[in-house]
Amino acid sequence: MCTHQLADFLSQREPERPFDHIADQDLPTLLEPIDDLVRRRNEVSHGVIDDIISTDLLKDRCYFLSSYCEALYQVMVQELLKYQVLCKEVQFLGKPIVVYNDSIACFESNKCDVAVGNILAADTGDPMTPFRFSPIMSIEVNHESFPELHVSENTQFGIKVSFKATDGFNYYVLPDGIV
């Protein structure tokens, strides 16, 4: 898996090469900037300073490292979500009745508690990106906004999120602080 930021960085370095799927044998070459920074740090810490890298190259390496760390974070969050959706505090909403504008998923439930700010996670079924998720931006029932909703009888409601929602995903409400 390669996040957009890392893929953009790598594409700038080698525009002719596709970075959406990276073969294992290509990893040493792609991670060379990190290895070079580690090698230089070790040399400097032992008093060996052969050459000083330019500020532009150092900035480039820092941007690469930042992009790489963001990609690692995204991979870890995807792995974490596989287990988090199994927690008893997580509410399973299932598939939505309908999705509007790729961002408003409408559900029907007779028992759930949701609030603006909770995380809505969608199980995509895609092994490369198993989940999409974002904080719930708004909740509506019959075109009336609510900061939170405590459903105890059959109720239809809409939840707005920032990711591209579809009606083919199963959805989960995660309490604050899980992701």
- Model pLDDT, residue 58: 82
- CATH no. for residue 155? 2.40.30.10
> Are residues 56 and 105 part of one domain?
no
Q: What pLDDT, in 10s, does the model give residues 106-152?
A: 999 999 999 999 999 999 998 888 999 999 999 999 999 999 999 99
Average pLDDT for residues 144-173, to the nearest whole number? 94
CB 158 within 8 A of CB 105: yes
Mark which of 67, 84, 101 sits at the end of a domain.
Answer: 84
Same domain, 48 and 109: no
- Determine the average pLDDT of the residues in 140-169: 94
Task: Give the model's pLDDT for residue 36.
Answer: 80
| 95 & 170 share domain | yes
Count how many domains the chain has.
Answer: 2
* Residue of 23 and 106 predicted with greater confidence: 106
Query: How do strand 119-123 and strand 131-135 relate by DSSP bridges?
Result: antiparallel
Count of other CB atoms within 10 angstroms of residue 90: 16
Same domain, residue pair 151 and 107: yes
Residue 53 lies in a domain: yes
CA dist., res. 121 & res. 27, Å (int): 30
Q: Is residue 49 a part of any domain in this protein?
A: yes
Give the residue, 150 or 30, on which the prediction is more confident.
150
Among 84, 111, 127, the domain-final residue is 84
pLDDT-derived band at 1 (thresholds 50, 70, 90) equals very low
Rounded-to-5 percentages of helix, strand, coil across the chain: 35, 25, 40
DSSP H stretches of helix in the chain: 4-13, 27-30, 32-45, 55-84
Domain assignment of residue 179, yes or no: no
Which residue range is the domain that position 126 belongs to?
A: 91-174
Helix (H), strand (E) at residue 95: none
For residues 73 and 136, membership in a common domain is answered with: no
Is 20 part of a structural domain of the chain?
Answer: yes
Residue matched to tokens 């939505």: 96
Whether residue 109 is found in the same domain as residue 77:
no
168 pLDDT more than 80: yes
Q: Which residue has the tokens 């190259």?
A: 57
pLDDT at 11 over 70: no
Q: Closest by alpha carbon to 116, among 152, 153, 160?
A: 160
- Answer with the one of 84, 99, 118 that is the final residue of a domain: 84
Q: Which amino acid is at 175?
A: P
- Of the chain, the end-to-end C-alpha distance in Å amounts to 19
Same domain, 71 and 109: no
List, for residues 71-115, the tens digit of each pLDDT value.
888 888 888 898 888 888 899 999 999 999 999 999 999 999 999
For residues 80 and 29, which has the higher predicted lDDT (pLDDT)? 80
CA-nearest of 35, 39, 33 to 12 is 33
Q: What are the angstrom distances between the C-alpha of 154 and each of 91, 105, 108, 111, 119?
A: 16, 17, 7, 8, 22
Based on the domain organization, do 95 and 66 belong to the same domain?
no
Say what angle helices 4-13 and 55-84 make with each other, to 10 degrees.
150
- Statement to judge: residues 110 and 80 lie in one domain: no
Do 134 and 161 belong together in one domain?
yes
pLDDT value, residue 2? 45
Tens of pLDDT, residue by residue over 45-78, are 887 777 777 888 888 888 888 888 888 888 888 8
Could you tell me if 74 and 113 lie in one domain? Answer: no
